[in-house]
Amino acid sequence: MRTIVIGTRKSNLALKQAEWVKEKLEGLGLPYKFELKKIVTKGDRILDVTLSKVGGKALFVKEIEKAMEDGEIDLAVHSMKDIPSVIPEGFSLGAVTERVDPRDVLISESEKKLHELPAGSVIGTSSLRRQSQILAARPDVEVKWIRGNIETRMRKMKEEDFDAIILAAAGLERMGWSEKIVTEYLAPENSLPSVGQGALGIECRTDDTDILELLQHIHDAEVARTVQAERAFLKNVEGSCQVPVAGHAVLEEGDDVTLRALVASPDGKTLLQDEQTGSDPERLGKVIAANLLERGGKEILDQVKKDLEE
Ligand SMILES: NCc1[nH]cc(CCC(=O)O)c1CC(=O)O
């Protein structure tokens, strides 16, 4: 019987996600054994610099791909939003799984909502996407960078100078913490989620046909269709999770997909948005990307990338 090794990062959230996938695979009752293996990545070790400057989330994914290439693990569970829009030669996205709440949430010490926070409040995030949208809604607050996993950010909010932080609902939901700590679910109009937010992506080696076949059983074709539109947008703006772009798609009746996407300036002064419905997710992402780039998105993103290189 083949033992399939599932690779995961070692944060509590990553482990929760990997365990969830392991249970789903075990539940299929196929003649395989499953094991989890934790991979400590460079990104996990670097804690004192802005992650964006050292290569962003792509860094975690790259090291996990190396472990797959070396045969140390057979598949890898990622938060969909951490997977770069172009997957390197030799690897495939074997499954996209069901999506939990895709929204961002605000957690504030005073339990005040975004529109109730006093002017000058300090909001913690390490995402330019969240920063630009928060500043667009509340130009009178200050955004400060905060790093670390969910637990670390919660602790920093209490110990350091943050009045509130923004996190993904998905992570909290998976940890079972939403009820306890969420102050406000942010409407997509105020904080359009990251491409892929809330879904999981499972990566494997392209030549491992057993695994590809196995993953088909936990693939959610409907979620995958929406994620495909979002990722087509990301790829066509040449975006990553380091730049201020956002995209969220929903399935309409029939087979149509509606994609809403945004490119913003980090200061929140320019928010370019578009929403369109279509039957071809790949094309939809491409059309919206071209539109936003043409309306000034290109200049914004070129500037952001230049700033990141400095
Ligand atoms: N940026 C890090 C990250 N990557 C995935 C999640 C969890 C949410 C998800 O699975 O989409 C988080 C935490 C967060 O953004 O608050």
SS (H, E, C) 9-56: CCCHHHHHHHHHHHHHHHCCCCCEEEEEEECCCHHHHCCCCCHHHHCC
- With 0-12 / 13-18 / 19 or more C-beta atoms within 10 angstroms meaning exposed / middle / buried, residue 10 is middle
User: How much of the chain is in helix, strand and coil states, percent to nearest 5?
Assistant: 40, 25, 35
* 176 contacts: CB under 8 Å, gap ≥ 6: none
Identify the pLDDT of residue 40: 83
Task: Please tell me whether the overall predicted TM-score, pTM, comes out greater than 0.80 for this model.
Answer: yes
How far does the centroid of ligand 1 lie from the alpha carbon of residue 168, in Å? 5
Question: 3-class SS at 201?
Answer: strand
Q: Ligand 1: which of 11, 61, 79, 97 to mutate, most ligand atoms within 8 Å of CB?
A: 79
Strands 122-124 and 91-96: unpaired
Assess whether the region 2-100+195-219 and the region 104-185 belong to the same CATH fold. yes
Ligand 1 nearest-atom number relative to CA 79? 10
- Nearest-angstrom CA–CA distance, 105 and 284: 27
Q: State the residue for tokens 């399939």.
A: 4
- Which CATH architecture fits 104-185? 3-Layer(aba) Sandwich (3.40)
Strand partners, 247: 261
Out of 3.40.50.150, 3.40.50.12280, 3.30.365.10, 3.40.190.10, select the CATH number for domain 2-100+195-219.
3.40.190.10
Please report, in angstroms and rounded to a whole number, the separation of the first and last CA atoms in the chain.
51
* In CATH, 236-309 is 3.30.160.40: yes
Identify the pLDDT of residue 43: 65
**Measured CA distances, 8 to 38, 78, 112, 256 (Å):** 5, 7, 35, 34
Per-residue pLDDT of the chain (310 residues; tens, 9 = 90+): 899 999 999 999 999 999 999 999 999 999 999 999 999 877 666 654 455 555 566 777 888 999 999 999 999 999 999 999 999 999 999 999 989 999 999 999 999 999 999 999 999 998 999 999 999 999 999 999 998 888 999 999 999 989 999 999 999 999 999 888 999 999 998 899 999 999 999 999 999 999 999 999 999 999 999 999 999 999 999 877 788 999 999 999 988 999 999 999 999 999 999 999 999 999 999 999 999 999 999 999 999 999 888 8
Q: Ligand 1: which of 51, 77, 197, 242 to mutate, most ligand atoms within 8 Å of CB?
A: 197
Ligand 1 nearest-atom number relative to CA 167? 16
How far does the centroid of ligand 1 lie from the alpha carbon of residue 121, in Å? 23
- Nearest-angstrom CA–CA distance, 162 and 198: 25
Is 195:83 a contact under the CB 8 Å cutoff? no
- Nearest-angstrom CA–CA distance, 76 and 59: 14
How far does the centroid of ligand 1 lie from the alpha carbon of residue 104, in Å? 9
- Is the Cα dihedral 135, 140, 141, 142 positive or negative? positive
* 162 contacts: CB under 8 Å, gap ≥ 6: 109, 122, 123, 124, 144, 146, 156
Residue nearest atom 15 in ligand 1 by C-alpha distance: 168
**Ligand 1, CB within 6 Å, residue ranges:** 79, 81-82, 167-168, 170-171, 197-198
Is 278:286 a contact under the CB 8 Å cutoff? no
Amino acid at 151: E
Ligand 1 nearest-atom number relative to CA 13? 7
Question: 3-class SS at 184?
Answer: strand
> What ipTM does this complex have?
0.92
Q: Ligand 1: which of 82, 104, 107, 172 to mutate, most ligand atoms within 8 Å of CB?
A: 82
Is 144:153 a contact under the CB 8 Å cutoff? no
- Nearest-angstrom CA–CA distance, 265 and 273: 12
Question: 3-class SS at 165?
Answer: strand
> What are the residue boundaries of the structural domains of the chain, listed by start?
2-100+195-219, 104-185, 236-309
- Catalytic residue annotation: 82
Question: 3-class SS at 167?
Answer: strand
Identify the pLDDT of residue 41: 73
Identify the pLDDT of residue 147: 87
Burial profile 90-116: b = 16 or more Cβ within 10 angstroms, e = fewer: ebbbbbbbebbbbbbbbbbeeebebee
